[in-house]
Amino acid sequence: MQIKNGDIVYLIFDKRRKFLKTVKAGEKFHCDRGYIDFDDIIGKNFGTIIESKPYNHNVIILKPLPSDIILNLSRASQIIYPEDIGLILVYSGIQPGSIILEAGCGSGILTSIMAIHIQPNGHIYSFDNRIEAIKQTQKNIEKMGLQNYVTLSHNDIINDDISNIIQVECDIIMLDMATPWLAIPKIHHFLKNSGVCCCFSPVIEQVKKNHLALKANGFVEIETYELLKRKIQVREDMDATRPETRMIGHTGYITFGRKIEPYIEKKEKKEKLPTEIKNEHSEMVLKFNLDENNDK
Amino acid sequence: MQIKNGDIVYLIFDKRRKFLKTVKAGEKFHCDRGYIDFDDIIGKNFGTIIESKPYNHNVIILKPLPSDIILNLSRASQIIYPEDIGLILVYSGIQPGSIILEAGCGSGILTSIMAIHIQPNGHIYSFDNRIEAIKQTQKNIEKMGLQNYVTLSHNDIINDDISNIIQVECDIIMLDMATPWLAIPKIHHFLKNSGVCCCFSPVIEQVKKNHLALKANGFVEIETYELLKRKIQVREDMDATRPETRMIGHTGYITFGRKIEPYIEKKEKKEKLPTEIKNEHSEMVLKFNLDENNDK
Amino acid sequence: MQIKNGDIVYLIFDKRRKFLKTVKAGEKFHCDRGYIDFDDIIGKNFGTIIESKPYNHNVIILKPLPSDIILNLSRASQIIYPEDIGLILVYSGIQPGSIILEAGCGSGILTSIMAIHIQPNGHIYSFDNRIEAIKQTQKNIEKMGLQNYVTLSHNDIINDDISNIIQVECDIIMLDMATPWLAIPKIHHFLKNSGVCCCFSPVIEQVKKNHLALKANGFVEIETYELLKRKIQVREDMDATRPETRMIGHTGYITFGRKIEPYIEKKEKKEKLPTEIKNEHSEMVLKFNLDENNDK
Amino acid sequence: MQIKNGDIVYLIFDKRRKFLKTVKAGEKFHCDRGYIDFDDIIGKNFGTIIESKPYNHNVIILKPLPSDIILNLSRASQIIYPEDIGLILVYSGIQPGSIILEAGCGSGILTSIMAIHIQPNGHIYSFDNRIEAIKQTQKNIEKMGLQNYVTLSHNDIINDDISNIIQVECDIIMLDMATPWLAIPKIHHFLKNSGVCCCFSPVIEQVKKNHLALKANGFVEIETYELLKRKIQVREDMDATRPETRMIGHTGYITFGRKIEPYIEKKEKKEKLPTEIKNEHSEMVLKFNLDENNDK
């Protein structure tokens, strides 16, 4: 694939000098290992190697992956890690065509990765009550050419009426904000039945509040996960395989719940279950609010 | 979204009774909590609740997520976990339009999830030398209606000539097989420059072999990760938040490398670098084969 | 070392048949792989192998380690894992001669291991308000011959006056009970200055309460840890090294704090610190209550 | 407990200024928060607070715990972490009275902690082939007053005859050296039957070699563990409980094996086991060398 003016390239000088840059015809990129002329790389293929001037240092030019973007894109707020975004994609069912309501766009990293995955016919309605976050996200999604897939709005979803902005039912609600439990009662009606609400929360006190809010608003299958990613150090020249000495010990807690439609409580006793099931059932009551209704 | 004949539904009777089933008009699904008539749910919306007959037990009907499919689809070989698939999506850059060469389709779970994400204009060329794996994958991708996105072939990619089957350059090579290091030299030419080769290996001895093979065949940015996923136990009725007592301690090691184009070694000494950089550089030599050439 | 009547032996028939048993002259031990006569092993050395009757199955006889005892001793309450006990030993400074106040003796496993380590001149004052726990612990410490090192008392340390039982200052307070934060204000005066209070708590809500109680009662250096232990699977006959598929995902949170003597708040402003230190200092205020006083 | 001349004290100025120092009458200790006169603290109790001169900064004086020593003692070689030492204590059965053969004393940290735990009648025979390690360990054990419990020898245990130095049978062999698998055949005869050999190895390639060497030299119950320790961040002033962002991702792999006495292979077929056991047994063969002999 040929490199064009305006493309984002991932320039690798060496292990510690890796840069995510937009190709600009007529301009240069400088670092302490020399500089490259963007005009020299336009028309070349991704995956090529050029030499920096005047040091003749080899520079690899890659097409950036989502993981490169996540780890290198400028950011105003807390980072979200690639492994967590991967978990969110799979457990939320984000895919081509998904309609997503996002609150808390941060610097637009998660927004951008989701936008890549919902192409070509999905859409993201993204809200943030911080104007700086909106501006940063705007900049980043434009840099990546994803602006057609995202509608950005400077709103407080807890207090503002956003029903004029988002007029379709969503497949996913993605909450990366300080108080998801306050937002859930206000916006869960934008979500389709069987849709997923996902909350990213860095501290454990928020997790319980998210669970309670999801349960109170008709969500089931509420689960919270955290991921620990270890990088394995491999030395090609010797026997020294081991996990790296330092790792990220905590990124955040990710909670998922699935919306179901309201249902009428049954007044009649349900038919007796065999005794051995009953015991197990009584334990279940703690987990499923629909089970509670079965028992009434 | 309405449930149609042929859809896959996720039926939840309670915590331990969850079933992934294909809706078949005129048929029933039975378990020890009663049965449901598929005719009763056709035309209803996903996210609805019906009662089982004759026990009147509430049953939630959800549209299955990728994570549900991964954890519930019938399988002939080892499971691959949702979190690992998420990592693969993000670190491989799998997205709408991706062309993927997969070797080792197992029972088709990873194939199916990748197929969802490359829609509507991507394609997967999937190979396995075990006829049972091909049959199982065929069945599963048809069940999910993804057959247009996958070309399945019963081949041994190490020994067979597959160049008549896959006539385009791929964005990603995905190896979930016993000996990726034997496959890499045979198939890396199918991969675009800047493309990603990903190897999933359950044991650590394979990881080093994968690294060596990737390095020997022109890959850079070779990294291996493992994920630990913990589920957090939250009790809405009491203060008892904690990670679950038991967890999966190991799924596998996932190695990524990126292909670059061959380049000519420079014979001349490169211009001297400032001393303080030089030291760091000599450390770099261990990591980047392109750096080695710089030094010659 | 010779096996004597009354010794505890660790009998290993195979991977799944391992038994911690007390040698009783004239008696036998039976399992489905046969039986052994205790008379046959008295006088033999630990580390020997005998054959079971009548199956002639090899049985290894080992002297049990603390880790064997921890994982095999009969128990009435929740297990505490060897790795957590190891952490407690090192972070509490438990060693020969230590005087320990323990509340919540469970089935006596932690009590026993601590008793081994404080020999020959240390002592443990152990309390529990559950008579069953006291009985179980009594039985277990007698089985291990450690009764001289432990004074067991059936008391509620939150509400009972225990000052007639424990008349020396302790080096360590070990709390493995439901509400350490209620006990700390009542019993911290039994602890020497510079001594350690350790709380084992399975859920995170307790951790914060423990921190607040320790801080309010003059403790510093308050830290909480959790351990994840992975067992590595090694196959001598093939390349298949990897962490085991299943592991214990959570045992508990272990909090340590160190008691300091009360001190008089200074009323005068302290001498000005250089500005660059000041900023850092203001962050410190969150952590050290003595710093708070410095600022007054 | 009163502070005496020659004691080691742990001086805490604030979160980042913590020092392990030996009290020397007539001397001072200086840092950027001021200095303290050791004469001012001699005779005071551990756990007291004094003010630094001239800044009047509060300084806590604690009696150092093993964990403080481990993390603060000067060192020439790689650190061993408190949690790993705890695991070693519990899984090796190190306790008052233990006789230990140690090879690879590093800077003496593990040696020192083990020496504390084997008091008053145990002993450690510690070897290292690096004179610097011997000197550093000598210095550290003297600083802690543990010299009576340790015999240090500058020897290569793989090639030197050490039988004139260690003339008793050991309870534990502790190998913290580069090639434990080469040492095991040379020194396992110093270990009592039922005794434990423990190997600390940072990389996975060594683990398999350790397993093979232990198995070949009559050890059973061979197991390898790794520990992950997470510190939990608790803010007393707000809801912000979470694991710390950064953690140590890998310290090392710790392998344990237990020596059994040599035994004569049985020539006769052993009595037939019931069929359902037999299958399981054949799986066992991979694990227990004594089982192999049963089958011959």
Q: In chain B, which residues have their Cβ closer than 8 Å to the Cβ of A231?
A: 223-225
Using DSSP's 3-state secondary structure scheme, residue C142 falls into helix
Q: How far apart are CA D92 and CA D96, in angstroms?
A: 13
* Contact yes or no for B259/B197 (Cβ under 8 A): yes
Q: D78, D201, D203, D242: which to substitute to probe chain A, counting the most A Cβ within 10 Å?
A: D242
CA B111 to the chain's CA centroid: 6
Phi, psi for residue B86 in degrees, rounded to 5:
-60, -45
* Token digits of residue A207: 């997790």
Q: Which residues of C touch B (CB under 8 A)?
A: 202-206, 228, 230-231, 239-250
Q: How far apart are CA A241 and CA C241, in angstroms?
A: 12
Cβ separation of D250 and A242 shorter than 8 Å? Answer: yes
Cβ separation of C65 and D32 shorter than 8 Å? Answer: no
Q: How far apart are CA D258 and CA D217, in angstroms?
A: 10
Provide the Cα torsion D140, D146, D148, D153; round to 10°.
-30
Rounded mean pLDDT, B226-246:
95
Q: How far apart are CA D296 and CA D292, in angstroms?
A: 7
Residue D72: the pLDDT is 80
Rounded mean pLDDT, C229-258:
95
Of the candidates A243, A204, A125, B89, the one whose C-alpha atom is nearest the C-alpha of residue D204 is A243
Bridge partners (DSSP) of residue B231 are: A225
Cβ separation of D202 and A246 shorter than 8 Å? Answer: no
Q: In chain D, which residues have their Cβ closer than 8 Å to the Cβ of C95?
A: 66, 116-117, 119
Mean confidence (pLDDT) of chain B: 88
Residue B78: the pLDDT is 66
Q: In chain C, which residues have their Cβ closer than 8 Å to the Cβ of B228?
A: 228
Find the closest chain D residue to A231 by CA distance: D249
Cβ separation of D250 and A249 shorter than 8 Å? Answer: no
Q: In chain B, which residues have their Cβ closer than 8 Å to the Cβ of C239?
A: 203, 205-206
Cβ separation of A247 and D244 shorter than 8 Å? Answer: no
Q: Is the pLDDT of residue D128 over 60?
A: yes
Shortest CA gap D177–chain A (Å): 15
Shortest CA gap B284–chain C (Å): 29
Q: How far apart are CA C24 and CA D82, in angstroms?
A: 39
Shortest CA gap A122–chain B (Å): 11
Q: Is the pLDDT of residue C19 over 70?
A: yes
Q: A203, A208, A225: which to substitute to probe chain D, counting the most D Cβ within 10 Å?
A: A203
Using DSSP's 3-state secondary structure scheme, residue C175 falls into strand
Cβ separation of A225 and B220 shorter than 8 Å? Answer: no
Bridge partners (DSSP) of residue D170 are: D191
Q: Tell me which residue in B49, B211, B230 faces A290 most closely, judged by beta carbons.
A: B49
Q: Is the pLDDT of residue C283 over 70?
A: no
Chains that contact D by 3+ CB pairs under 8 Å?
A, C
Cβ separation of B96 and A117 shorter than 8 Å? Answer: yes
Of the candidates D151, D164, D202, the one whose C-alpha atom is nearest the C-alpha of residue D180 is D202
Find the closest chain A residue to B93 by CA distance: A65
CB-side neighbour CA atoms (13 Å) of D184: 26
C-alpha distance across the termini of chain C, in Å: 63
Find the closest chain C residue to B252 by CA distance: C242
Number of Cβ pairs < 8 A linking chain C and chain D: 279
Ranges in chain A, pLDDT < 50: 267-296
Distances (CA, A) of A171 to A99, A193, B105, D214: 5, 8, 29, 57
Residue D187: the pLDDT is 97
Helix (H) or strand (E) holding C44: none
Bridge partners (DSSP) of residue A10 are: A20, A62
Q: Which residues of A touch D (CB under 8 A)?
A: 202-206, 228, 230-231, 239-250
Cβ separation of C250 and B245 shorter than 8 Å? Answer: yes
Phi, psi for residue A216 in degrees, rounded to 5:
-65, -20
Of the candidates D169, D199, D172, the one whose C-alpha atom is nearest the C-alpha of residue C66 is D172
Q: In chain D, which residues have their Cβ closer than 8 Å to the Cβ of A230?
A: 249-250
Global ipTM:
0.88
Residue A293: the pLDDT is 33
Cβ separation of A280 and B16 shorter than 8 Å? Answer: yes
Residue D270: the pLDDT is 47
Q: How far apart are CA A41 and CA A6, in angstroms?
A: 12
Q: How far apart are CA C263 and CA D48, in angstroms?
A: 8
DSSP state of A201: E
pLDDT higher at B287 or B35? B35
Query: What does the angle CA C29 – CA C35 – CA C38 come to, to the nearest 5 degrees?
Result: 50
Q: What is the pLDDT of residues C69-94, one digit of tens each?
A: 888 875 555 689 999 999 999 999 99
Shortest CA gap B261–chain A (Å): 5
Of the candidates A281, B246, B83, A204, the one whose C-alpha atom is nearest the C-alpha of residue D238 is A204
Of the candidates D101, D75, D120, D230, the one whose C-alpha atom is nearest the C-alpha of residue D174 is D101
Q: How far apart are CA B125 and CA B128, in angstroms?
A: 10
Q: B242, B246, B253: which to substitute to probe chain C, counting the most C Cβ within 10 Å?
A: B242
Cβ separation of A203 and D248 shorter than 8 Å? Answer: no
pLDDT higher at B277 or D256? D256
> Can you say whether the dihedral through the CA atoms of A133, A138, A142, A143 is positive or negative?
negative
Q: B78, B81, B208, B250: which to substitute to probe chain C, counting the most C Cβ within 10 Å?
A: B250
Rounded mean pLDDT, D238-250:
95
Shortest CA gap C65–chain B (Å): 25
Q: Tell me which residue in C245, C248, C250 faces B242 most closely, judged by beta carbons.
A: C250
Q: How far apart are CA B239 and CA B234, in angstroms?
A: 8
Cβ separation of D207 and C232 shorter than 8 Å? Answer: yes
Which segments within chain A are labelled E, that is strand?
Answer: 8-14, 17-22, 28-31, 34-37, 48-51, 58-62, 99-103, 123-128, 150-154, 170-175, 191-201, 219-233, 242-243, 246-248, 253-259
Q: What is the pLDDT of residues B88-146, one digit of tens each?
A: 999 999 999 999 999 999 889 999 999 999 999 999 999 999 999 999 999 999 999 99
* Contact yes or no for A197/A218 (Cβ under 8 A): no
Rounded mean pLDDT, C223-231:
98
Shortest CA gap D230–chain C (Å): 5
Cβ separation of C239 and B203 shorter than 8 Å? Answer: yes
Residue A78: the pLDDT is 66
Q: In chain A, which residues have their Cβ closer than 8 Å to the Cβ of D246?
A: 246-249
Q: In chain A, which residues have their Cβ closer than 8 Å to the Cβ of B291?
A: 14, 58
Rounded mean pLDDT, B154-180:
96
Shortest CA gap D60–chain C (Å): 8
Shortest CA gap A230–chain D (Å): 7
> Can you say whether the dihedral through the CA atoms of A216, A217, A218, A219 is positive or negative?
negative
* Token digits of residue D86: 């705890």
Q: How far apart are CA C180 and CA C187, in angstroms?
A: 10
Residue C264: the pLDDT is 60
Q: What is the pLDDT of residues A105-123, one digit of tens each?
A: 988 999 999 999 999 999 9
Q: Lowest-confidence range among A94-98, B245-249, B260-264, C137-141?
A: B260-264
Residue A69: the pLDDT is 87
pLDDT higher at C261 or A225? A225
Q: In chain C, which residues have their Cβ closer than 8 Å to the Cβ of B178?
A: none
Residue B274: the pLDDT is 40
Using DSSP's 3-state secondary structure scheme, residue B260 falls into coil
Q: In chain C, which residues have their Cβ closer than 8 Å to the Cβ of D83?
A: 83, 86-87, 90, 225, 227
Q: Is the pLDDT of residue D216 over 70?
A: yes
* Token digits of residue B143: 């069940």
pLDDT higher at B179 or B15? B179
Shortest CA gap B160–chain C (Å): 26
Rounded mean pLDDT, D256-271:
70
Residue B75: the pLDDT is 58
Rounded mean pLDDT, C119-130:
97
Considering chain D, what percentage of its residues have pLDDT values greater than 70? Answer: 87
Of the candidates C287, C252, C258, C219, the one whose C-alpha atom is nearest the C-alpha of residue C87 is C252
Phi, psi for residue D126 in degrees, rounded to 5:
-115, 135
Find the closest chain B residue to A57 by CA distance: B294
Q: In chain D, which residues have their Cβ closer than 8 Å to the Cβ of A84?
A: none
> Can you say whether the dihedral through the CA atoms of D32, D38, D41, D46 is positive or negative?
positive
Q: How far apart are CA C117 and CA C124, in angstroms?
A: 11
* Token digits of residue C214: 């320790």
Cβ separation of B87 and A92 shorter than 8 Å? Answer: no
Q: What is the pLDDT of residues B1-20, one digit of tens each?
A: 899 999 999 999 998 899 99
Q: What is the pLDDT of residues D63-80, one digit of tens each?
A: 999 889 888 875 545 689
Q: Is the pLDDT of residue D199 over 90?
A: yes
Q: How confident is the model at residue B51 (pLDDT cuts 50, 70, 90)?
A: very high
- The total number of residues shown for chain D amounts to 296
Q: How far apart are CA C283 and CA D107, in angstroms?
A: 35
Residue C75: the pLDDT is 58
Shortest CA gap A202–chain B (Å): 13
pLDDT higher at D287 or C216? C216
Shortest CA gap C226–chain D (Å): 5
Bridge partners (DSSP) of residue A175 are: A103, A199
Find the closest chain D residue to A250 by CA distance: D245
Exposed, middle or buried by CB within 10 Å (0-12, 13-18, 19+), for D235? middle
Cβ separation of B242 and C204 shorter than 8 Å? Answer: yes
Q: What is the pLDDT of residues D6-63, one digit of tens each?
A: 999 999 999 889 999 999 999 999 999 999 999 999 999 999 999 999 999 999 999 9
Using DSSP's 3-state secondary structure scheme, residue D267 falls into coil
